[in-house]
Structure 1
Amino acid sequence: MIALALSILSSTMIFVVFKLFSKFKINTLHGLTFNYVTACFCGIIFQKETVDFLAIPSFSWFPFALVLGALFIIVFNLMAITTQRSGLSVVSVATKMSVVIPIIFGLVYYNESLGFLKITGIILALIAVYLASIKTKDGIKIKRSNFIFPILVFLGSGIIDTTVKYLEGEFIAKHDIPIFSATIYAMAGVIGFVILAFQASKGNFKFQFKNVLGGIALGIPNYFSIYFLVQALRSGIFDSSGVFTINNVAIVMFSTLVGILLFKEKLLVKNWIGIGLAVISIILIAFEKF
């Protein structure tokens, strides 16, 4: 339970840092690239076992980690495009609704239990995510020509979570979690620097130290969000469908509350309803287990 709570806390901190990116006008791509470097170093630092870096490519999870690293930065860019074209609420809904993909995977591949309380909790959680994420009275409006982008964000986010669960169960030894995470972030960082190098060759790159600081501030909770999520999946407190549901809906709930407390955001009635449903969904899923 502690690992799950720390995963939720880490992901909520990511929300806070992203908000500060906007406030301090930090270049998102630059900050994100340095965030991956920071997260990579966190994985190396917290790896208790001695690391033979030359042996890392021989690990069975290595090719999957490279794919995940590429997916991290690809999905981020898709999120940026979706935000520009359809708004932040669409991105938030697409990202958090993607929890249905690892839930279905857990139920089918691992034959996880699906009782009445869990079914009700999952349905309420999805409704809660939608209601808490939509900050406009008119709801979501997406042009037909832009519809592909939130779909790709939905699929990409769901595939990332599902792959993490699969690798955690099949390939990753307990003492390899930090270096596994570091490898993912290293790959994402390399791709980020390639993009920055391309920008520099076109004369579009401007170095600002605040982008480095922003990346460091983001990278630390980013690393721990993955680290503690894997630990939560291994804790046995809930099965994977329960962990992913509670993790996602709690992140939305606490991020919304932090937005009120720190950034003076105004919530609509449906946002408060979403928060209430989030609490109920967590309780139902917890009761299913116990």
Structure 2
Amino acid sequence: MIYLIFAILFSASLALALRISETFSDNRYGILVGNYVTCLVVAFILLPDKNIFAAGSRTAVLTGIVNGFLFTGNLVLMQKCIRENGAVLSSAFAKLGIVIPVTASILFLGEIPTLFQLVGIVLVIVAIWVINSEGDRGCGRRRRMGSAGLLLVLFVVSGMADGMSKVTERIGERRFDALFLFYTFLTALVLTVVLAFLEQQRTRRKIGKMDFLSGVAVGFPNYFSTSLLLASVSRLPAFIVYPSFSVGTILVVSFVSVLVLGDPISRRQIGGCGIILVALALLNL
């Protein structure tokens, strides 16, 4: 459980670092490049023998590459969905993607929740929807629901990206976890650099020093939240890890945003946070 708690704290730190980085940079690709460079460097430093072509590591390499594509694809889809459906609806569908790995673990991996835990999972879904269901002011229903197919793709890709940690835990070897993370971030970095180059060609805007440094600040919590999530699913059932990780992050970010950053919070969000507390209690019974 300690790995899951720290995974939630680092995930919340990642979200808050992205929130604060907006003050210093508005070049999203610059931040992402700095982020993935940092993740890759940390991943290499933490490799036990610094051998990125270790014998018997084919599964870790392949799953890492797939995970890197899912990371980047999720980012691109999220950006496109926000433009076409608004940030609120897109965020809700992305977070609800946890339904995919949770359902797969129950149906195919024999991880059966108790009745209380099942109620907790349902409450997690309700809480995510409540917190994200206030709607985008100024966006009509037609615009927000105009790309239902794209939202469905985002839901699936986000769920697959979340579930890759469990896939790796099942088909890979624990001694290659660091290598899996290395190839995840290497793939994501290469793809992001390509996207940044295309964006620069389109806008004639280069990545500045503050863009990159903001990404570095994001990279450290990103790496450790990902690695600790992987450690969590190797020790706890997916139906506990993924819902707790998702709503736990929302709870911590909401708490810090209100008390430290002075962000406003609505009654609906307060109600959603209350549901989260009940859900976390049930999941851990």
Structure 2 length normalisation: TM-score?
0.91
In structure 2, the residue matched to 1:21 is 21
In structure 2, the residue matched to 1:64 is 63
In structure 2, the residue matched to 1:245 is 243
CA shift, 1:140, in A, is 9.5
Distance verdict in 2 for CA 1:58–1:199, change over 3 Å: same
Whichever residue aligns with residue 14 of structure 2, its letter is I
Structure 2: segments with no counterpart, 5+ residues: none
In structure 1, the residue matched to 2:80 is 81
List per-residue Cα deviations over 1:84-128 (Å, max 9, x = no partner).
Answer: 232222232112111110100110111111321011101111111
Mapped contact 2:10–2:221 kept (Cα < 8 A)? yes
- Tell me, what secondary structure is at the counterpart of 1:265? coil
Pairing partner for 2:262 from 264, 280, 290: 264
Mapped contact 1:31–1:215 kept (Cα < 8 A)? yes
In structure 2, the residue matched to 1:204 is 204
List per-residue Cα deviations over 1:105-154 (Å, max 9, x = no partner).
Answer: 11011111132101110111111111223455979945343223322221
TM-align CA RMSD: 2.2
- Tell me, what secondary structure is at the counterpart of 2:284? helix
Mapped contact 1:21–1:28 kept (Cα < 8 A)? no
Distance verdict in 2 for CA 1:56–1:78, change over 3 Å: farther
Whichever residue aligns with residue 252 of structure 2, its letter is F
Distance verdict in 2 for CA 1:93–1:111, change over 3 Å: same
The correspondence of residues 180-191 of structure 1 with structure 2, limited to 5 A, is: 180-191=180-191
Distance verdict in 2 for CA 1:253–1:140, change over 3 Å: farther
In structure 1, the residue matched to 2:147 is 146
Distance verdict in 2 for CA 1:263–1:55, change over 3 Å: same
Query: For this pair of structures, how many residues does the alignment match?
Result: 283
CA shift, 1:68, in A, is 1.3
List per-residue Cα deviations over 1:24-75 (Å, max 9, x = no partner).
Answer: 233111211221111111111122x212224479522212211211111111
In structure 2, the residue matched to 1:168 is 169
Whichever residue aligns with residue 149 of structure 1, its letter is L
Mapped contact 2:6–2:225 kept (Cα < 8 A)? yes
What is the alpha-carbon distance in structure 2 between the residues aligned to residue 140 and residue 109 of structure 1? 40
What is the alpha-carbon distance in structure 1 between the residues aligned to residue 261 and residue 151 of structure 2? 26
In structure 1, the residue matched to 2:276 is 278
What is the alpha-carbon distance in structure 2 between the residues aligned to residue 140 and residue 94 of structure 1? 18
Identity rate of aligned residues, in percent? 22
Q: Mean Cα displacement is larger for which, 210-219 or 197-206? A: 197-206
Mapped contact 1:89–1:140 kept (Cα < 8 A)? no
What is the alpha-carbon distance in structure 2 between the residues aligned to residue 26 and residue 272 of structure 1? 29
CA shift, 1:200, in A, is 4.5
Structure 1: segments with no counterpart, 5+ residues: none
In structure 2, the residue matched to 1:157 is 158
Mapped contact 2:81–2:150 kept (Cα < 8 A)? yes
Distance verdict in 2 for CA 1:25–1:189, change over 3 Å: same
- Tell me, what secondary structure is at the counterpart of 1:277? helix
CA shift, 1:261, in A, is 2.0
Whichever residue aligns with residue 114 of structure 1, its letter is P
Distance verdict in 2 for CA 1:144–1:280, change over 3 Å: closer
Distance verdict in 2 for CA 1:54–1:61, change over 3 Å: closer
Mapped contact 1:181–1:227 kept (Cα < 8 A)? yes
